[in-house]
Chain A
């Protein structure tokens, strides 16, 4: 993708020497296996993430097909549970997180004027262990007794005493995923702290870099806790400890406390980089600087800080004392304040701008609206008394899919379209890209919006079969699901076309775009910023 026979006019001079480096690189598969180049690794991450997105999406299709009608027709309940579990794990750890890491790899060095990531060899490792992790996870599905069937949250004792024999594989693969993302996070932090161009002061950093820095700190803070809790699951199941077994003095609810201590920051790990992406795209297409840059940084930091003291809002029904419920309710509601600030800032950025609506902007605008809807349902879920009614129903499923699909994934699409010309050197086919956007937008709402109603009407989540009253809405949801699934194939068409050819992209293909990445030619040369650039 990053062939660099073409040199663009802007900043060409500074990249003369980079040609030579490229000629030493190994060719073929070895180039990708051994690469330490941040752009190659970024590409690998992105391709991997999208592949996993399709695999996890295929599982969602199985789920929606089974739920198309009441009754059991396609899969047995045990396999259904494996599908919901592995769908969740793949989407969280295999699609969204690697996609963000891929974007970070590609863009952070170019945004801060660094020649590469700070720890290129570790970068190679952190990517190449990922396929193994997911091969193990997916392989466990074919074991006797099936793969993990206890939900991506793997609550004990369902995941310990009562799980199938493949649980060890699940634990092992989560460990590898954890190691991969910790290495990735360390790399991001070291790069941002040490490799900024001399003039790139903290408050000049693009917001994508800022949000990723904060995300990376969240990652190194909570991924080890996840590693700890899966280790406890492992020893409880196989080595006779009783962390979560009442008979031995443990407490199954403690599992949930430790898990959600990881789990809630994890939710923000999957959305903070989105904030950064949208904060880059909206100003570019509104042709107006981002409103409230400083408050964006502070809001991100405070969301990250608050994420450590709200975890028990996932556990209101476990039987907490009143003061606990109140504390976690108030803290959770507080998150609405910095999140609101962000949305207001984006709207203020658009206000009195001169907007155009290219595909990245369309995805970014859809993000703002639909993520906010997810935020509203999140606020409703924070209110403990009503959470008792919403908890573990499709209302929750609707909520987190709005935040993760129309939130995180839409922002990743926005980023992909925004930077695709920089990566491939070609403009993408606008017609198909717009088709992708509109089909996704309509189908995603047909898919997830009615889920709110299902949840309010009382349909629990993670069930393979349901009462007759839910039949019609489930059918609509399934149709939306199939349409959304198919729409994603359009993205493959657009990317493959752009990678193969198309209209040559200028160094800065978007009129209002700002940032160092647009000062290098498109496609970005294999090596950029070997001497640090000047920052205005």
Chain B
């Protein structure tokens, strides 16, 4: 029987992978927030309705396939219309749809009400990392993929949170309405945390908003959901929800750290780093932040990302070189690293680029040179 031929292999295969993929949920996450829970319920409702309709329609169809076949010697009937039935099966789906639309509308209205938030975070997407700025507090930082490149290149065993880990996660308090404002520095990104049922596009030049209220402390992982270029698959979102008191102390410690770092940097301005130290730190920094586009050998990807090896600007114009590393280049994928890296790292990476791969300019760039470009109107 054709039916058996069709069903048996499908079922076997389904069963085999259902047992195999035991660590991947096969359904939408219920999430942790009130909204994500409502979204899940809505998803299941619609899914069950579809299943029932499918069961009825396919049931009739397969019954017909089994019973009304020529090989059983049946004579075909000749009816070909019935206004009554046709009206009926136009009207019934319509009613079912209204039944679906009501809960959907209610959930949507609840999702779109972002008023009375206690904390606002400006989320900025850029190729290929997220930047978080706490608008009510003096704190901002980048959040970059933490998975080592060697794991991606299959040279190291992959960790448990492969591609879903970042160096500095976003931290938010629990039981607090947190509002996210989304924007972008370059192309469109989309900030998505499935467990909050929050997915919102970050559009360059525009802001969007979303909100959540997380009841339980924990680590929540998501990813960029809108194709944003080469490393779209490598810009995860990690959010840590902490109890409000813990959040406050975290906030204080971060702000203190940020200030201490700035003070330390100012103190270090006078420091002259020797060449091999600069080159060493520079290589590490370069491999982590620059090599994805400009390639480890400095040759870039022709037509996409310019080569640094033998580049005119790198070989001659140090000021322009520092500026582009600090502030990025408008209209290209080149982001500014002025806020992301320390003065020391910036100095090291510029030095590295000016001396590696046969770019032997012999020039050393020190933290003070970077600070000079940053501060002064020369």
The short answer to whether A and B are in direct contact, CB under 8 Å, is yes
- The reply to whether A373 and B201 form a contact with Cβ atoms under 8 Å apart is no
A129 nearest CB across to chain B (Å)? 27
- The reply to whether B104 and A252 form a contact with Cβ atoms under 8 Å apart is no
Query: What are 5 contact pairs spanning A and B, CB under 8 A?
Result: A326-B105, A392-B199, A460-B223, A462-B227, A462-B233
**Most-contacted residue by chain B among A247, A379, A461 (CB, 10 A):** A379
- The reply to whether A389 and B304 form a contact with Cβ atoms under 8 Å apart is no
Residue A429 interfacial (CB < 8 Å) = no
Residue A286 interfacial (CB < 8 Å) = yes
Provided the pairs A146-B303, A341-B90, A383-B42 are in contact, do residues A352 and B203 lie with their beta carbons within 8 angstroms? no
Q: Chain B, 313-340, contact with A by CB distance < 8 Å: what is the 0/1 string?
A: 0000000000000000001110000000
Q: Chain A, 376-394, contact with B by CB distance < 8 Å: what is the 0/1 string?
A: 1001100111101101110
On chain A, the residues within 8 Å of B303 by CB distance are 143-146, 164-166
On chain B, the residues within 8 Å of A458 by CB distance are 29, 194, 222-223
Provided the pairs A72-B152, A333-B101, A389-B197 are in contact, do residues A146 and B79 lie with their beta carbons within 8 angstroms? no
The contact of B230 among A78, A344, A389, by CB within 8 Å, is A78
On chain B, the residues within 8 Å of A329 by CB distance are 101, 104-105, 108
Q: How far is the CA of A365 from the CA of B94 in the complex (A)?
A: 25
On chain B, the residues within 8 Å of A317 by CB distance are 190, 199-201, 225-226
A9 nearest CB across to chain B (Å)? 25
Q: How far is the CA of A197 from the CA of B322 in the complex (A)?
A: 76
The contact of B78 among A155, A157, A289, by CB within 8 Å, is A289
Residue B81 interfacial (CB < 8 Å) = yes
Q: Chain B, 225-251, contact with A by CB distance < 8 Å: what is the 0/1 string?
A: 111111111100000000000000000
Q: Chain A, 354-391, contact with B by CB distance < 8 Å: what is the 0/1 string?
A: 11110000100100110011001001100111101101
Q: How far is the CA of A470 from the CA of B221 in the complex (A)?
A: 14
Provided the pairs A333-B100, A465-B233 are in contact, do residues A146 and B227 lie with their beta carbons within 8 angstroms? no
- The reply to whether B199 and A388 form a contact with Cβ atoms under 8 Å apart is yes
Provided the pairs A162-B186, A456-B26, A468-B162 are in contact, do residues A392 and B233 lie with their beta carbons within 8 angstroms? no
Residue B164 interfacial (CB < 8 Å) = yes
On chain A, the residues within 8 Å of B357 by CB distance are none
Closest to A72 in B: B152
- The reply to whether A469 and B24 form a contact with Cβ atoms under 8 Å apart is yes
Q: Chain B, 86-121, contact with A by CB distance < 8 Å: what is the 0/1 string?
A: 100110011001001100110111011000000000
Residue A464 interfacial (CB < 8 Å) = yes
Closest to A71 in B: B154
A150 nearest CB across to chain B (Å)? 7
Query: Which stretch of B43-51, B170-178, B363-371 is in the interface?
Result: B43-51
Closest to B61 in A: A347
Query: Which stretch of B13-21, B129-137, B254-262, B342-350 is in the interface?
Result: B13-21
Q: For chain A, what secondary structure do more than half of its interface residues adopt (helix, strand, loop), or is it mixed?
A: helix
On chain A, the residues within 8 Å of B163 by CB distance are 70, 465-467
The contact of B304 among A78, A318, A356, by CB within 8 Å, is A78
Query: Which stretch of B69-77, B264-272, B275-283 is in the interface?
Result: B69-77
Q: How far is the CA of A318 from the CA of B153 in the complex (A)?
A: 34
- The reply to whether A252 and B204 form a contact with Cβ atoms under 8 Å apart is yes
A387 nearest CB across to chain B (Å)? 9
Q: How far is the CA of A345 from the CA of B85 in the complex (A)?
A: 10
Provided the pairs A145-B304, A288-B76, A373-B54 are in contact, do residues A81 and B70 lie with their beta carbons within 8 angstroms? no
The contact of A379 among B20, B46, B194, by CB within 8 Å, is B46
On chain A, the residues within 8 Å of B43 by CB distance are 380, 386, 389
Q: How far is the CA of A473 from the CA of B17 in the complex (A)?
A: 7
A22 nearest CB across to chain B (Å)? 38
- The reply to whether A388 and B39 form a contact with Cβ atoms under 8 Å apart is yes
In chain A, residues 276-335, which have Cβ atoms closer than 8 Å to a Cβ of chain B?
Answer: 286-295, 317-319, 322, 325-326, 329-330, 333-334
Q: How far is the CA of A472 from the CA of B13 in the complex (A)?
A: 13
On chain B, the residues within 8 Å of A344 by CB distance are 57, 89
On chain B, the residues within 8 Å of A352 by CB distance are 64, 68, 74, 76-77, 79
On chain A, the residues within 8 Å of B107 by CB distance are 385
Query: Which stretch of A91-99, A209-217, A445-453, A489-497 is in the interface?
Result: A445-453
B111 nearest CB across to chain A (Å)? 6
Provided the pairs A162-B187, A288-B76 are in contact, do residues A246 and B222 lie with their beta carbons within 8 angstroms? no
Q: Chain B, 124-167, contact with A by CB distance < 8 Å: what is the 0/1 string?
A: 00010000000000000000000000011110001011111000
Residues of A bordering B, CB below 8 Å:
70-73, 77-78, 81, 143-146, 149-151, 155, 157-158, 161-162, 164-166, 245-247, 251-253, 286-295, 317-319, 322, 325-326, 329-330, 333-334, 336-337, 340-341, 343-345, 347-357, 362, 365, 368-369, 372-373, 376, 379-380, 383-386, 388-389, 391-393, 438, 441-442, 445-446, 449-450, 453-454, 456-458, 460-470, 472-473, 476
Residues of B bordering A, CB below 8 Å:
2, 5-6, 9-10, 13-14, 17, 20-21, 23-29, 38-39, 42-43, 46-47, 50, 53-54, 57-58, 60-61, 64-65, 68-71, 74-82, 85-86, 89-90, 93-94, 97, 100-101, 104-105, 107-109, 111-112, 127, 151-154, 158, 160-164, 182, 186-188, 190, 192, 194, 197-201, 203-206, 208-209, 222-234, 301-304, 331-333
Provided the pairs A286-B76, A466-B233 are in contact, do residues A330 and B101 lie with their beta carbons within 8 angstroms? yes
On chain A, the residues within 8 Å of B71 by CB distance are 356
- The reply to whether A453 and B54 form a contact with Cβ atoms under 8 Å apart is no
A326 nearest CB across to chain B (Å)? 6
On chain A, the residues within 8 Å of B86 by CB distance are 292, 295, 341, 345
The contact of A389 among B151, B158, B199, B333, by CB within 8 Å, is B199
- The reply to whether B93 and A441 form a contact with Cβ atoms under 8 Å apart is no
- The reply to whether A157 and B204 form a contact with Cβ atoms under 8 Å apart is yes
- The reply to whether B203 and A350 form a contact with Cβ atoms under 8 Å apart is no
Q: How far is the CA of A357 from the CA of B2 in the complex (A)?
A: 9
Closest to B154 in A: A71
A410 nearest CB across to chain B (Å)? 14
- The reply to whether A456 and B233 form a contact with Cβ atoms under 8 Å apart is no
Q: How far is the CA of A161 from the CA of B205 in the complex (A)?
A: 14
Provided the pairs A144-B302, A383-B100 are in contact, do residues A351 and B6 lie with their beta carbons within 8 angstroms? no
- The reply to whether B152 and A252 form a contact with Cβ atoms under 8 Å apart is no
A313 nearest CB across to chain B (Å)? 12
Provided the pairs A165-B303, A465-B163 are in contact, do residues A337 and B94 lie with their beta carbons within 8 angstroms? yes
A380-B50, A460-B225 are known; give 12 further A-B pairs, CB within 8 A. Answer: A161-B332, A162-B331, A252-B204, A317-B190, A351-B64, A354-B69, A438-B6, A453-B24, A458-B29, A460-B224, A462-B232, A473-B21
Provided the pairs A151-B227, A326-B105 are in contact, do residues A353 and B64 lie with their beta carbons within 8 angstroms? yes
- The reply to whether A368 and B61 form a contact with Cβ atoms under 8 Å apart is yes
